[in-house]
């Protein structure tokens, strides 16, 4: 879909549908609307057809004195300025409301909308991201694609300075494009989305953006390098594991590194998972998908930053060569791990990738992203990703980036008190810490491989996808949080 910004008067803009969002009671009618249109809206309010309630919509045909053929009223449910989450919910309602009309072009009047502690440029950026996110559709495997929305062009009407509005639109649509790539990869079935496929996607991405360099490490090469933890997971599948390293050098100096878990399907290995909802284990590569998406957004924005992004990909299968509970493996760091549960495989592939990126690139900061533990879902549900860090400043940067764009995280403890749960009588550590504090002990495990670098771990098991029913699918999180974090690091993310 094409996106644009315009400062035209609403009466002059030609579109199939004009959207006007109004507060509770619809007392905030924009002055830029023609008098006849304002009178029509007031009449709808007086008659009780529209009250500005949250998610309420009213579609009016042939509105007077407008070039648009439809007028869509959308309620905010608020009496004043909106919060970030309320605005994102409004954008979702707008996108779905317009898509339901059959309009091919639409425009959203923004000047009567206020968001607490944010300016109009922010509204354009997050509004465009929200509209794009909520018009996403994955129909690659559908024979009948006739249900796709007709919407082809969306314009944001704003009196903000043109340069600011265009920059904000570019940022919002770039992040949305990254989210769409992450969702495409997460939603793709595991028979087609496997480690080798991710390599083809990585190569295509590097071909698309000349500033992006790509290096790949095969399973055999990883074994020669000493990545015993990664290989212990990968060798359980007939498909070889793969590691992809992107480097984007938009600035000098030590890079920021992202490391994404890419288990393209997780059976649990010998510690086999229950059969119920196992189809959703294709989403166990959503950490890797978010790295792909963030890399795309960074390239689209041409951020002045040095970024290294690692995708570590494997299938966790119960083949004859699969790891057994009780096996001991040696990691790239030299530390040994007793595998007590083969379903705790994500930390095994990540620990070698974390060591590798530190040895080869000497990053200033490392952030790993993984659908790591069911315990995180129990703790935080689907609203916030868990944020662990050995550096309070890094944690705060990620949390603030998430708050800014509505892709929220929540700080979690990384105390030494939990480390003893990983004690093993036979190796330097075990790969699980027992039934208590499972998300925390998983982070503690990774912390043993990141002692000499500023490091954060995002457990996105609750936020990376929506489970069950017709709404099931990848969310594209935490691409917004990561991109905003990198924008701030690059000095181009200030509102």
The phi and psi torsions of 84 (rounded to 5 degrees) equal: -60, -50
Catalytic choice (38, 54, 96, 273): 273
pLDDT at 468: 85
Kindly list the distances between the CA atom of residue 303 and the CA atoms of 231, 298, 310, in Å, as whole numbers in the listed order: 34, 6, 18
Give the span between the Cα atoms of 155 and 124, in whole angstroms.
10
pLDDT at 471: 86
Give the span between the Cα atoms of 67 and 69, in whole angstroms.
6
**What DSSP letter does each residue of 61-118 carry, written as one string?**
ES-TT-SSSEEEEEE---SSPBPHHHHHHHHHHHHHHHHTTT-SEEEEE-TT--BTTB
pLDDT at 470: 81
Catalytic choice (347, 408, 448, 477): 347
pTM comes to 0.97
pLDDT at 492: 53
436 carries an active-site annotation: no
CB 155 within 8 Å of CB 199 = no
Listed as ranges, residues in the chain with pLDDT below 50 are: 493-495
Pick the closest to residue 20 from 2, 45, 3 (CA basis): 45
CA atoms within 13 A on the CB side of 208: 15
pLDDT in tens, 87-126: 999 999 999 999 999 999 999 999 999 999 999 999 999 9
Token reading at 155: 């314009």
In the chain, the domains with their CATH numbers are: 2-158 (3.40.220.10), 178-490 (3.40.630.10)
pLDDT in tens, 391-415: 999 999 999 999 999 999 999 999 9
347 carries an active-site annotation: yes
């Amino acid at each position: 879909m094409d996106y644009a910004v315009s400062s035209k008067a609403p009466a002059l803009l030609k579109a199939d549908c004009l959207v006007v969002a109004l507060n509770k009671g619809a007392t905030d009618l924009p002055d830029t609307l023609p008098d006849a249109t304002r009178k029509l809206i007031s009449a709808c309010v007086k008659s009780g057809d529209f009250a500005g309630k949250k998610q309420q919509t009213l579609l009016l045909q042939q509105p007077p004195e407008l070039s648009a053929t439809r007028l869509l009223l959308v309620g905010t449910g608020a009496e004043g300025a909106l919060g970030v989450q309320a605005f994102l919910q409004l954008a979702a309602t707008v996108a779905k409301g317009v898509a339901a009309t059959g309009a091919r072009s639409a425009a959203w009047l923004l000047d009567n909308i206020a968001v607490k502690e944010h300016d109009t440029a922010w509204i354009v950026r997050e509004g465009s991201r929200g509209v794009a996110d909520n018009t996403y559709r994955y129909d690659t495997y559908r024979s009948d694609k006739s249900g796709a929305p007709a919407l082809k062009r969306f314009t944001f009407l704003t009196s903000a300075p043109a340069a600011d509005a265009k920059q904000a639109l570019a940022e919002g649509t770039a992040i949305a494009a990254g989210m769409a790539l992450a969702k495409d990869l997460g939603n793709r079935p595991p028979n087609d989305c496997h480690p080798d496929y991710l390599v083809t996607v990585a190569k295509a991405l590097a071909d698309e953006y000349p500033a992006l360099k790509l290096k790949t490490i095969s399973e055999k090469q990883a074994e020669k390098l000493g990545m015993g933890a990664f290989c212990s997971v990968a060798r359980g599948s007939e498909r070889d594991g793969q590691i992809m390293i992107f480097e984007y050098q938009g600035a000098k100096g030590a890079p920021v590194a992202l490391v994404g878990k890419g288990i393209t399907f997780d059976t649990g290995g010998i510690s086999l998972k229950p059969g119920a909802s196992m189809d959703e284990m294709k989403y166990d590569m959503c950490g890797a998908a978010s790295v792909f998406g963030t890399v795309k957004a960074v390239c689209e924005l041409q951020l002045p930053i040095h970024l290294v992004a690692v995708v570590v990909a494997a299938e966790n299968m119960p083949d004859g060569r699969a790891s057994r509970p009780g096996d001991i493996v040696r990691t790239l760091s030299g530390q040994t791990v007793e595998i007590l549960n083969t379903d705790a495989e994500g930390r095994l592939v990540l620990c070698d990738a974390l060591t590798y990126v530190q040895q080869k690139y000497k990053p200033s900061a490392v952030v790993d992203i993984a659908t790591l533990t069911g315990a995180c879902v129990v703790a935080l549900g689907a609203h916030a990703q868990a944020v662990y860090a050995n550096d309070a400043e890094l944690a705060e940067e990620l949390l603030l980036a998430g708050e800014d764009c509505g892709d929220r995280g929540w700080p979690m403890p990384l105390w030494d008190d939990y480390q003893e749960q990983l004690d093993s009588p036979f190796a330097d550590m075990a790969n699980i810490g027992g039934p208590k504090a499972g998300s925390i002990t998983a982070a503690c495990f990774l912390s043993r491989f990141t002692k000499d670098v500023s490091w954060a771990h995002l457990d996105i098991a609750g936020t990376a996808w929506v489970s069950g029913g017709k709404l099931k699918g990848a969310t594209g999180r935490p691409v917004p949080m990561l991109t905003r974090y990198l924008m701030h690091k690059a000095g181009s993310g200030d509102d």
